[in-house]
A = this chain, B = another copy of it.
Amino acid sequence: MSHVRIFAMGGLGEIGKNMYCVEYEDEILIIDSGVKFPENEMFGIDLVIPDISYLVENQHKIKAMLLTHGHEDHIGAIPYVLRQIKMPIYGGRLTLGLVKSKLEEHRLQHEAQLLPINEDTVLNFDRLQVTFFRTNHSIPDSYGIVVHTPEGMVVHTGDFKLDMTPVGSPTEFGKIAKIGMGDVLALLSDSTNSERPGFTMSERAVGEGIMDIVAKARGRIILATFASNVHRLQQVVDAAKEHNRKVAVIGRSMEKVFMIGQELGYIQMPEGMLIDIKQIDNYADNQILIICTGSQGEPMAALTRIASGSHRTVQIYPEDTVIISASPIPGNTVNVSRTIDKLYRAGANVVHGSLFEIHASGHGSSEELKLMLSMIRPRYFIPIHGEYRMLKMHAKMAEQVGIKSENIFVMDNGDVLCCNRESAWLEKVNAGLVLIDGSGIGDVGNIVLRDRKHLAEDGLMVVVVSIDMKNFKILTGPDIVSRGFVYVRGSESLIQEATVLVRQKLASALDKKIKEWTELKSQINEVLKPFIYERTGRNPMILTILMEV
């Protein structure tokens, strides 16, 4: 029976690595390809991307990748996907600008076909057609996507808020409502803020909040925010202009966005207002506003370095006002607090937190989510872009606005909603995660992570012995070396006793003519592990290397 298949390679039950697919017969459209930042226990991992083996197997069906907006959790995995699957990529101008710069970093700029869209674009594939509608989010050029199928429309909101007084182009309410008057098969909608009541604060209010603080500040102003929040940057530039301050920019990603943003006309400022960071001392303190990265307390970012006194050009002066125009993402709270403490210690006045109207989320709260549901009025609803409880909460709202509970699907990555006008059922495809560490893609898995965790918690003892296996005799050693276990100074006797224990055990095993190395190693382990635990309460990894000479 003819039906549409809707599934996610990433983005369900998590915040990050968003990648949604709409499949109809022999056509697949991919919506976004994002990364996720590693969880705490993913020691040493740089990034997490979706496992796209299903898409690689079905790449003959893939027609295009459509991008909703330019955030890392929506475009970050593109270089990795493009290495395996060639396809055209459609997105807004700013989105493509950011993708292009990312591809250049990966030296893939010549592999990709980047095609700009706007709210009027219509893309015709074989049986599928795609149209777009403008939304508001914490980055310009955010779009909702409509995939027109023979079974009706599949609507993907992208990340959105329904900001009535946005800084950039407004949400196309009329177009959205009109879509809802048509034949909508399914809606996929952003669940990030489904746990928040009410409406999300307008970006415009943030501009006013920042303007107030800039008006009052007597010394320099240092403002940290997300580099990609171009509307925010424009509002900061406007405040600086109003109060006759020059703007200097620090932090690699911030400099990049300022370049792309100005080039594409998203950031507008008078000639000569943007100055090089090295020139700031040529101006009075109250003529300077510095925009920088580090609003999440990231260890290497500009604000963090400034706070620690380790930035090469900017130090904190006692009259400085530091504005942190962002909320800490869960998991970053401790790092942000630490940065704030250091700024205070350096003498700055720090403006942060929800007491001041200096940050607004880019995601709609409950009432906005209900409004979207009420306008689109889909047959089937899939809450996307959220951890499980957020999806669940969004599903509850869908019921409240009148969608039948049997038509609401709280899904996991890899679950496939197969649906048409008559019925809907679930199937499964392969989905999972791929860890990126350095230049390695997927060569770190559970065993490596388990070892890293063990090493992190208890460190390591290496036992090396060379043995004459013909005569069952120890030649040299055991030598015991430790790392991350105990201070070497003060632990000499512990190591010495351990060495004696291991030597005795090994000698007696060799006397019994035991020659299997696994057996010899496990005998060493059996005597060493309890000895170390009893003496230190720790279980270091024990690595025994036997050498036959």
Contacts and interface: CB of A to CB of B under 8 A. Distances in A.
A350 B389 contact: yes
Interface in A175-227: 195, 197
Interface stretch (A59-67, A109-117, A332-340, A413-421): A332-340
Nearest to A340: B389
Interface string A444-461: 110111011111111110
Interface in A427-470: 437-440, 443-445, 447-449, 451-460, 462, 464, 466
Given A340-B389, A443-B486, A464-B545, A456 B456 contact: yes
Contact of A543 (B353, B392, B452, B483): B483
State how many copies of this chain the complex holds. Answer: 2
A530 interface: no
Interface stretch (A73-81, A147-155, A507-515, A534-542): A534-542
A451 B331 contact: no
B448 A484 contact: yes
A462 B462 contact: yes
A173 interface: no
A472 interface: no
A476 B548 contact: yes
Does more than half of chain A's interface fall in helix, strand or loop, or is it mixed? mixed
A13 interface: yes
Q: How large is the interface on A (under 10, 10 to 19, 20 to 34, 35 or more residues)?
A: 35 or more
Nearest to A338: B387
Given A40-B40, A466-B476, A487 B438 contact: no
Interface in A273-288: none
A537 B334 contact: no
Given A44-B456, A485-B448, A487-B443, A39 B462 contact: no
Contacts of A392: 344
Given A388-B341, A543-B462, A547-B476, A455 B443 contact: no
Interface of A: 13, 39-40, 43-44, 195, 197, 330-331, 333-334, 337, 340-341, 344-345, 350, 353, 355, 387-389, 392, 437-440, 443-445, 447-449, 451-460, 462, 464, 466, 475-477, 479, 481, 483-487, 490-491, 533, 535-538, 541, 543, 545, 547-549
26 contacts: A40-B40, A43-B456, A44-B456, A44-B459, A44-B538, A330-B337, A331-B334, A337-B389, A341-B387, A438-B536, A439-B536, A443-B491, A443-B536, A447-B487, A448-B459, A451-B483, A451-B484, A455-B455, A460-B483, A462-B543, A462-B545, A464-B464, A464-B545, A477-B547, A479-B545, A545-B545
